[in-house]
Every structure is written in C-alpha cells, then in structure tokens.
C-alpha cells in the first residue's frame, strides 16, 4: 500500500472514472488502473466497480475513502510542515471540561503575554500519557496523570458539586461529552454514585447540560466556581449527594524536565502567574475574535 496508490484511488473515487483521474494526475490510464489493481489486491476488496454512471464505490471502498483522503492530504501537508520559517507551536491538550472552559482563554492569554503560538486540542484522558510521551502534545491539562517520564503539577484546586434547578427533576443526570470519559472527574463521580447509564443524558457541551439542569431537566455535575454565578442568581442550587462536594485538582502534565521543550517550561511558568489563575477561576469572558483559533481534536492510533 503506497501513498500514490491511495492517491490514485481517491482521484478515481472523486472523479468517477479512471480516465478522468489519469488526466488529472497527468499519467496514462493504465498507470492509474494498475495502482488501483495493486491496492485492490493488497486490501482484498474491489473498492470501485464499473457501472453505467462511472466507477462506483463498494462498501469497503466507501469506508476506505475518508481515511485515504486524509492520508493523501496529510502527505502533502507533511512536506509543507518541515519547510523552515514556520514557528514552533506549543500543543496544549485538555480533557473535556478544561477544553471547554479554560483552555481557550488560558492559551489565548499565554500567546498574548509571551508572543507564543500555542494551539489547543481536546483529547480523552486515557490518551494523554501517550500523546505526551509520543511528543504529539507538549502540555496536558486535566486530572493527574501517572506514568513513567511524566510530571503532573497541580494548577488549581476546586470542588466538584452536583447542581439542579430548585424545583427540578432529580432522576436524571445531565453531562457534557466529558461525562463519558471514564477517567474524567464527572465520569468518576457518576461511577462513585453508581448512576445507571440509562439515567444519564449527554449534551453537546457542559454549558448546555447546565442550562438543561437550570430548566429543571435533572442534576448535573459541575465544577463549583464555574457555576457560582448561576447559583448566586438562584438558577441552580447545590444538590447533596454521597460523593459531593468532592475536592478535585486540575493538573498540568508534562514530560520530565530534560525531555520537554522550552515552550512547555514557559507555559508551566505562565500557569503559576496570578493572571493565569484569575483566568482559570473566572474564564467566562470568551476570547477576542482575532485570537480565536478553532481547537483540534487530537487522537492517536490504537
């Protein structure tokens, strides 16, 4: 299986014919046909079969196309990435809650203060150690991460509580995507309380889960200082459970001192500054349009 074979497959699939793909690639028709034949042999699937309207994808071909497209695009990107002149970027990954509330403003402020070019990403807690050791990320924000070569440093102590509307239902639990991360704080809480899966409803994000809770749809786990405003206004009240309030800490995890980059050190230093703590305590102000960069989803292979 070769990058150019995958490229030929992608072109044929998109253009609907071997001939058109050959023209687009600037090679002869059999060249494309053979690349395709070899890929078919290697993968054991016809991938594309001829039909009246042109070449049409098989089931396997359909599943392959997305992956192949990405591989081809990344191959082109790889060549561009090593060219000099691009600044080194610091990669900060965060688990669900921190990615939603804290990572964006924090990294934005860091970039502003230190003239850096850091980007944020979301990742499952379980993948973080591997992301760090494989150098795909420089800093991981989330729970403490054990592991050889890893150093976790607490960056904020906070309390995990359960909230609901004053007269809302108490039979359902409302969580954001981070509630499905078994290693995250919300996931641990639900497990401690033995909440059955059928009583958990997942929302597109944590804020939406809190909004639903405020409207009386159920109970939501929450980091105390992030819902302080809603509690003060009476939209949400704290609900007593066997496990809350639970003291949790947010950690920043990096590689050992010698192995991590200078930028990672700079970010760690930044995290101890008062303004960074301030942002983590009340991060609800958004970030300026000019500094916004959409977060990426980071994952590794299994």
Partner DNA sequence: TCCAGAAATAAGGGATTCCTTAATGTGCGC
Partner DNA sequence: GCGCACATTAAGGAATCCCTTATTTCTGGA
Task: Tell me whether residue 33 or residue 241 sits nearer to DNA (CB atom).
Answer: 33
Query: Which of a second copy, DNA, none does residue 240 bind (CB under 5 to 8 Å by kind)?
Result: none
Stretch that binds DNA, among 47-55, 81-89, 116-124, 205-213 (CB under 7 A): 47-55
**Which of 4, 152, 205, 241 is the binder for DNA (CB under 7 A)?**
4
The interface with DNA within residues 9-38 (CB under 7 A) comprises 17-20, 27-31, 33-38
For residue 18, which phi and psi values (nearest 5 degrees)? Answer: -65, -40
65 binds DNA (CB under 7 A): no
Beta strand 200-202 with 150-164 is unpaired
Cα–Cα distance between 210 and 220 in angstroms, integer?
6
55 binds DNA (CB under 7 A): yes
Beta strand 48-51 with 220-223 is unpaired
Residue 193 CB, shortest distance to a second copy, in Å, is 14
Q: What angle do CA 7, 83, 262 make, to 5 degrees?
A: 120
- Residue 40 structure tokens: 């078919």
54 binds DNA (CB under 7 A): yes
Cα–Cα distance between 116 and 109 in angstroms, integer?
10
Residues β-bridged to residue 157: 249
Residue 39 CB, shortest distance to DNA, in Å, is 9
67 binds DNA (CB under 7 A): no
Cα–Cα distance between 57 and 63 in angstroms, integer?
9
Question: Residue 294: how many CB atoms within 10 A of its CB?
Answer: 7
Residue 269 CB, shortest distance to a second copy, in Å, is 20
Q: Please tell me the count of residues contacting DNA according to CB under 7 A.
A: 28
Task: Tell me whether residue 4 or residue 299 sits nearer to DNA (CB atom).
Answer: 4
Q: 46 with 37: CB under 8 angstroms?
A: no
Q: Compute, in degrees rounded to 10, the torsion defined by CA atoms 207, 288, 277, 142.
A: 50
Query: Which of DNA, a second copy, none does residue 215 bind (CB under 5 to 8 Å by kind)?
Result: a second copy
Query: Which of DNA, a second copy, none does residue 38 bind (CB under 5 to 8 Å by kind)?
Result: DNA
Task: Tell me whether residue 78 or residue 273 sits nearer to a second copy (CB atom).
Answer: 78
Residue 13 CB, shortest distance to DNA, in Å, is 11
56 binds DNA (CB under 7 A): no
Residue 283 CB, shortest distance to a second copy, in Å, is 9
Query: Which of a second copy, DNA, none does residue 202 bind (CB under 5 to 8 Å by kind)?
Result: a second copy
- Residue 4 structure tokens: 């150019």
**Which of 14, 50, 89, 169 is the binder for DNA (CB under 7 A)?**
50
Query: Which of a second copy, DNA, none does residue 192 bind (CB under 5 to 8 Å by kind)?
Result: none
Q: Work out the burial of residue 20: count CB atoms within 10 Å of its CB; fewer than 13 is exposed, 13-18 middle, 19 or more buried.
A: middle
Cα–Cα distance between 210 and 284 in angstroms, integer?
14
Task: Tell me whether residue 28 or residue 112 sits nearer to DNA (CB atom).
Answer: 28
Q: 92 with 137: CB under 8 angstroms?
A: yes
Cα–Cα distance between 59 and 65 in angstroms, integer?
10
Interacting residues with DNA (CB under 7 A): 1-5, 17-20, 27-31, 33-38, 42, 48-52, 54-55
């Amino acid at each position: 299986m070769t990058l150019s074979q995958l490229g030929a497959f992608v072109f044929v699939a998109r253009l609907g014919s071997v001939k058109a793909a050959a023209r687009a690639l600037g090679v002869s028709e059999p060249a494309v046909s053979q690349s395709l034949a070899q890929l078919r042999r290697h993968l054991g699937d016809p991938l594309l079969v001829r039909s009246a309207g042109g070449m049409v994808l098989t089931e396997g071909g359909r599943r392959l196309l997305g992956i192949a497209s990405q591989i081809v695009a990344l191959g082109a990107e790889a060549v561009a990435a090593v060219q000099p002149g691009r600044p080194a970027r610091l990669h900060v990954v965060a688990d669900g809650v921190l990615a939603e509330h804290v990572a964006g403003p924090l990294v934005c402020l860091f970039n502003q203060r230190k003239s850096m070019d850091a980007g944020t990403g979301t990742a499952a807690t379980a993948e973080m150690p591997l992301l760090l050791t494989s150098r795909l990320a420089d800093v991981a924000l989330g729970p403490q991460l054990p592991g050889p070569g890893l150093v976790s440093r607490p960056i904020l102590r906070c309390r995990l509580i359960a909230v609901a509307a004053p007269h809302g239902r108490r039979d359902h639990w409302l969580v954001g995507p981070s509630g499905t991360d078994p290693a995250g704080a919300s996931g641990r809480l639900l497990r401690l309380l033995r909440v059955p899966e059928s009583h958990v409803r997942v929302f597109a994000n944590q804020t939406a889960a809190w909004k639903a809770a405020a409207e009386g749809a159920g109970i939501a786990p929450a980091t105390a200082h992030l819902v302080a405003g809603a509690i003060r206004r009476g939209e949400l009240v704290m609900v007593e459970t066997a496990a809350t309030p639970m003291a949790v800490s947010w950690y920043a995890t990096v590689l050992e001192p010698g192995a991590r980059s200078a930028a990672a050190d700079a970010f760690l230093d930044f995290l101890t500054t008062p303004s960074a703590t301030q942002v983590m305590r009340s991060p609800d102000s958004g970030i300026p349009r000019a500094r916004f960069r959409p977060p990426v989803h980071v994952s590794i292979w299994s």
